[in-house]
Structure 1
Amino acid sequence: MRYGTALREEIGRGGVTPLIGIYDMYSASLAAQHYDGMFVSGFGFAASYYGLPDIGFIAWPDMVGFVQRLRLAFPEQHLLVDIDDGYVDAEVACHVVEQLELIGASGVILEDQQRPRRCGHAAGKRILPLEQYLEKLDLVLETRSDLLVVARTDATEESEILRRAEALAATDADVLLVDGVRDVEWIRRVRAVAGSKPLLFNQIAGGLSPRLSLTELEDLGVDVAIYSTPCLFAAHAAMAEMLEKLRTNDGRLAEAGDSGVGVASSTALLEANISRHHPRRADLAPRMGSRR
C-alpha cells in the first residue's frame, strides 16, 4: 500500500484535507470514527508518553513504535507524523524516515528549528541557518520513496518568513508549513510566495494562529489543516471535571448514562482495532481517501 501516494492524491483533490491531532491509541480510536486522517502530534505524544512539554524530549524509537501500533490498528487512515527536527542529525532523520515509511506512515513534517526546540506556537524558537536545513531536507527527500514530506519553517521575523517560504516552496517537498502564522494577511502572503506548492496550516487552542474554519482556509488557498491538540485538551478538561465531581461526591461514580461511556461502549470502540477485523491490505486502496 502506497500511503504517501494516497495522502498526496487526497490533497490534490481540492478543498482542505483535515488531519486530527491524536496523542495515544484511545484518542486515535475516537478520531478514526469521524475523520479519514490523523496527525501524530509531537506536543500530544510528549505529553502522553513522557508527561513532559514539547521541548525536545521525544526519542525517535518511541515515535516509530507508536506509529507502528497506529498503522496496525488503523490500516485505512492517513498518518502524518511530526518528527520535529529529524531528531537533530540528518542521518538520524533519514533513518527515521526509512523506518516510518517501512511501517506505513503517510508523511512526515520536518522543521528547521535549532535545539533546544520549542512548540511552534511558543516563544523562544531558534532556527537553523537556511542552507543547513535545506541540506537536511534534501537528504530526507532523497531517502524517501513514497512518503509525503512537509517542509516546515518556524521563522518569526517577517522578511525571513517569506525568504524561507519561497526557498522551501522551490524544493521537492510535497507541502509547505509556516508554523505560528499570526493572522490571515500572513497566510495570504505565504500563499503568494509558495506558488503552486500545497500549503498546510496548523492551529492549536491558545496558540498564535487564528481559529479558522475549513471554508475560510480554502478561501485563503490552504490545502491541509492539522489540529494538533483538540483531543488532548478536551481529555484534560473532561478528566479534570470528572475527578472533581468524584472527589466532591464522596467517591461515588456517576452513572454511565451521564456521559454515554461505559464498559460496553469502550470495549466496542477498541475491538474495532483488532487487526483480524480489518479488510485485507489488497482491499484497502480503493477505500482510502474517501471523506468521512
Structure 2
Amino acid sequence: MGSVHDTNSATAGVKACSPLVGAQRLREMLKDPSKAVICPGVFDGFTARLAVAAGYDALYMTGAGTSMSRLGWADMGIATLNDMRANAEMIASLNPAVPLIADADTGYGGAIMVTRTVTQYARAGVAAMHIEDQVQEKRCGHLLGKQIVDREIFYSRLRAAVIARDQLKSDIMIIARTDARQGQGFDEAAERLQEAVRIGVDAVFLEAMQTREEMEKVCKLMGDIPVLLNVVPGGVTPEYPIDDLVKMGFRIIIYPGLCIGPLLTACKNSLESLKTNRISPKESFGTGIRDAFNFTGLEECVAIDKAAGGKAYDTVGH
C-alpha cells in the first residue's frame, strides 16, 4: 500500500483526465521486480472510494462482484461487455491516477468482439484487462466444471487484443489468463501462457494453482513477464502472506472477494436485526448518512459549484 490519494479536493474526480494515466502509472509500478502491485477487489463506486481512501495504489474490478452487484446474479457468464465496461468506466473515473485492473472475461466473442472490448476498456480508462480461455458460458475461476477452448481459439483472442492495443497506441496492459489448470493440468496451462507471451501480452495469470510448487514454478517460467496471482480464501490456491508471495515472484496480487464477504455479512445482520427487533440497529446508516455523503464527494461537488459561481449548494443538509 502507498499513500492515500486525494479524494476530497474539488478536482479529485476530474484531474489527470487522460484515459492513459492509470495504464502509464501501472507500467511504472511494475518496473521494480522486488515489489508487487496489491489490488483489493472492488465492484462499485463505494467500495472503490473505500479502497483508495485506505491507501491502495491500484484497484481490481472483480467480475464476480460486478455480476452480483449490478445484476444480482452469480458469476456464470451473465454479465455482458456493456455491463462490465460501464462499471469499469465509473470506477476508473473516480480517480484516474489510481490504476484499475479489470476482468474482461473471454473478451465477449470472437476476434472482432475482442478488438471492440479492448477499445472500449482502453477508452474507459482501464489500466489493464485480463482475457481468459474459458468457453463463452464461463464461470468464476475457482468453481468446478470449467470448460476450456482449444489453444488456437485462445490465441486468436489474444492476438486480437494485442492488435487492438497497438493500433490504439494505448498503454493498456493485456493480461492472458488461463483456466486450463483444473481440467488439463499445470503443464498445459503454462504452455498456453508461454505462447501468450510470444503473441505479445504484457502479463500472465494462471488461475487456480494448487500448490506452492506450482506458484513458484510459473514465476520462474515467465522470467521478466509480470505474473498475476488471484487470492481467494477458501479457493483451490493456498494463501500466503504478501511478503512470501512477492518472494515467490508475483508482481500483481489481487483479492477479488475482499469487500464482498464483509458487505454480505454486515448487511445481512442489519436487515435481520431490524426484522427481529423492530428498530434499526445502532450501527446502521442512521446519523452517519452525512459522513457517507462527504466520503462519496458531497464537499467536492459543493466546491465545484462554488468555483463556478453557483450558490445552489450553500446549505446542504438532509
Global fold match (TM > 0.5): yes
Map residues 96-245 of structure 1 onto 2, 5 A cutoff.
Answer: 96-144=117-165, 145-156=170-181, 157-245=185-273
User: Secondary structure of 2:102's partner?
Assistant: strand
Corresponding residue for residue 89 of structure 1 = 110
Deviations 1:162-194 (A, max 9, x none): 322322233321111001111211111212221
* Conserved 8 A contact 2:108-2:136: no
* Conserved 8 A contact 2:186-2:214: no
* Aligned counterparts of 2:49 and 2:274: Cα–Cα separation in 1: 26
* Aligned counterparts of 1:271 and 1:96: Cα–Cα separation in 2: 30
Task: Please state if 1:255 is matched with 2:279.
Answer: no
* Aligned counterparts of 1:275 and 1:101: Cα–Cα separation in 2: 27
* Aligned counterparts of 1:45 and 1:86: Cα–Cα separation in 2: 16
* Aligned counterparts of 1:146 and 1:81: Cα–Cα separation in 2: 14
Map residues 70-85 of structure 1 onto 2, 5 A cutoff.
Answer: 70-85=91-106
Code of the aligned partner of 2:280: L
* Aligned counterparts of 1:81 and 1:277: Cα–Cα separation in 2: 31
Deviations 1:64-110 (A, max 9, x none): 11122223222221111101000122211111211111121111011
Question: What do you get for the CA RMSD once the two structures are aligned?
Answer: 2.1
Specify which of 291, 296, 314 is matched with residue 270 of structure 1: 296
* Aligned counterparts of 1:17 and 1:229: Cα–Cα separation in 2: 17
Which stretches in structure 1 are left out of the alignment for 5+ residues?
A: 279-292
Deviations 1:247-269 (A, max 9, x none): 232x212335x889811221111
Specify which of 30, 40, 45 is matched with residue 11 of structure 1: 30
Q: TM-score, normalised by structure 2?
A: 0.81
* Conserved 8 A contact 1:74-1:273: no
After TM superposition, the structure 1 stretch with the greater mean CA deviation from structure 2, 215-224 or 30-39, is 30-39
Q: TM-score, normalised by structure 1?
A: 0.88
Higher relative contact order (CA 8 A, sep 6+): 1
* Aligned counterparts of 1:186 and 1:261: Cα–Cα separation in 2: 50
Q: Which has the larger radius of gyration?
A: 2
- The count of corresponding residues between Structure 1 and Structure 2 is 276
* Conserved 8 A contact 1:113-1:154: yes
Code of the aligned partner of 2:198: A
* Aligned counterparts of 1:272 and 1:129: Cα–Cα separation in 2: 50
The change in CA–CA distance for 1:252 and 1:277 in structure 2 (over 3 A counts) is same
* Conserved 8 A contact 1:38-1:80: yes
> What is the percent sequence identity of the aligned residues?
26
User: Secondary structure of 1:230's partner?
Assistant: coil
* Aligned counterparts of 1:12 and 1:272: Cα–Cα separation in 2: 37
Cα offset, 1:277, TM superposition:
6.6
Code of the aligned partner of 2:253: A
Moved over 4 A (4+): 258-261, 272-278
User: Secondary structure of 1:146's partner?
Assistant: coil
